[in-house]
Structure 1
């Protein structure tokens, strides 16, 4: 599934002067207020302006998590209400992955995207467990059960190990499984698995980290890849490249306390800013050659997080830009706050 416009991500933008590290969380709350003004409609729909104003399950899951992290219960409840009213059209507890203004969920857009469901379930768990908000446990438990039952698949190389599929409808046979490495969020999988007692999710987190280390050893962290009985092969239906999806790999690993992971070290070296321009390499081809750079602050924030450098909450240059890098910047700031190894100094 192609989620975002390539052109919308290549624009260049100047960076503001960095402020002192935000250890209180006030900067993140202020950034959230600006982010939701730009990307969140009053009814709770997250808008992706670079894709004709569509909404997707990824955006709804991200926004739920950011609202919880910022302590914004009102926004959290509006986001969840819109999501239930418009994306919960399947027979299971998973979301349709795309909603289009004037059309709703069309064609195969009813397929789920596992990362959106994973982040929604994790946000609901955190809201109940950490914020004390009135969220019924059976909601995130039902999502977790359907991720476990429909979105995990045996690794063709080792049947006892579980892969996180990008969708319940994605390619998966005894010989070949389509994998999006950037969907692997170990912390969310482990916390949901621990809370519900579903050890399959914990096993998927463990094996996911193993797969990411194996891919890092090849020198390329791909957006998509097939896992086959013979090893890793070119992905079915996708180009073999490392680009905007793969930017989330180091983000999720650092957030999970794995800042020393081989994939994080590789990403830190490959994303390293080109001084004095400050641009980071955001896309590489099949052979690992750079194919695109950008100095958008959101992408630079991920590069800083991968290097375990301080990450400031986004300001106007980031939040006035495209949706995806602005969302990554918000997530990177939250990840930095929640990972003691890379947290801002107090």
Structure 2
């Protein structure tokens, strides 16, 4: 990954920028960014040294329950407008090849791919930015029509990995290499390699460097890399998901009597939480990667803690699934590891309270 050299004063500007987007102040945020551009701060530095860190901070503030979902969405919308303003001011002529940039089907976190798009354009690439949640079949049609040199495919959530796998395989089948990116592929890119991506990059500038270094040599997935799917646990879990979730909610109500007093909003929130457990469990089964599930559990414990909910509440849900899925040995192992991670978070909570 190449190092960004921040212009003098950008650190202070970053605080002002976060203030603007936090109040949905589009004009203030755009003016701040364009003034920095006029003062000589490179456009790529603004994209990756101002907007991208601010967006990461927005996610942290939501997770810490300091910002609402509405405020988070408003901030993201403003940043999208700022990226567009910078892009309209700086329009280099394309001198390299063509790259298609898209989010995998079902993936709606598109700001990072827009940042990548503008960095690639600044570096001289012609870019087709297709945005969020691009259905695989429509992407393939676009590739046939445009004939790009590469596809940059983004996946933020591991729950989208099965669709990402189908998409990147289809791209390669028509002769277009795929550069994978986004935390859904693992912070070290291990899941991108498992699924057969031709390359992986942890950031927009690293992706641009990768493409400029000579393209993407084909690196097909090993024939036995996905052999674990032969046990059909993933397939059966996905196929039986509605019945499993219904049974899990019924079992949870029996194991946790206070649910009888939940209002509609609380019941809906609980159902969503249980669905998230099922979806991350399925993703971990698909790639046979325990960390996909335990990382989700640890992150969820932090989100719940910030909202005054003890990790023990998540443990109840995990145990319900473990009891439900008696015919799923790999899933039960993942759930046991998840319960261990939740207990570890509970212990961390107790230690933190004792130190206060």
- TM-score above 0.5: no
Select the structure that is richer in helix: 2
Q: Which has the higher contact order (CA 8 A, sep 6+)?
A: 1
TM-score, structure 1 normalization: 0.31
